[in-house]
Amino acid sequence: MNAGTVSTEYILRMEDVVKTFGGFTALHQTSLTIPGRMVFGLLGPNGAGKTTLLRLVTGLISPTAGKLTLFGGLEPGASAARAMIGYMPQSLAIYPNLSVVENMLFFGRMYGMGEGALKTRIDEVLETIELSGRRDDILANLSGGMVRRALLGTTLVHKPKLLLLDEPTAGVDPVLRIKIWETLRKLCDEGTSILITTHHISEADRCDRVVFLRSGVIIGDGTPDDLTRQYQADDLEKAFVVATKEGVAT
């Protein structure tokens, strides 16, 4: 399978994945299959295992036990898999002393993009994240919300098939949060699969499918409407509260 081919069966499959750090177990025998072309949410409090799961998908860390495959059979960390993934961590992993466009050029070159295609793609991404007019501004001089958008732009520059977003709207105002979600929905409609972590119920409610995580255990999995019905709740927030109390693994 090459970097231009993506399985229509699934974008991510986890089979009894366990991840431990010393004597601490961050994920307990987690099994999960995610089809392509959807916004998939991981909802849970701090320490639930959300970031650990994303880092396993990127190949930054390896499972202690179990199996994880991407795009129909690629292992995380394989060069072909990395070429199809965009990862936006919670930390601002870009260069504050470079401009918006310089950051995007750097990351595009890291992915081996040709200069002509890269410059065209940067123009497209700047339009998407609404920073065309600030392309030459140094990041250190921008607002926190603009920096978050610039960080998102660096993850999009190589047209990833799978976008991994770790709390992408942390610390941003409600208006910007809505704009970011509008961007994510547009990307999904254009074919990008999105795996997003959040502890905001309102954001999870925007996802096509949601997993409830608690202490490294999946305690709920389905569409927001399915989970609301399953736990006989009025909304997703109450469903999460009931699932957390019951601790029912799916």
DSSP states along 174-193 = HHHHHHHHHHHHHHHHTT-E
Among the ranges given (8-12, 56-60, 122-126, 133-137), the one the predictor scored with the smallest mean pLDDT: 8-12
Instruction: Copy the structure tokens of residue 11.
Output: 């974008």
Q: Express as a percent the part of the chain with pLDDT over 70.
A: 95
Residue type, 135: R
Cα gap 201→198, rounded to integer Å:
8
* Average pLDDT score, the chain: 90
Instruction: Copy the structure tokens of residue 97.
Output: 């002393």
pLDDT band, residue 247 (cuts 50/70/90) = low
Q: Please say if the pLDDT value at position 2 is more than 50.
A: no
The whole-number pLDDT of residue 250 equals: 42
What is the pLDDT averaged over residues 224-247? 90
Higher pLDDT, 90 or 34: 34
Cα gap 11→226, rounded to integer Å:
22
Task: Supply the pTM of this predicted model.
Answer: 0.89
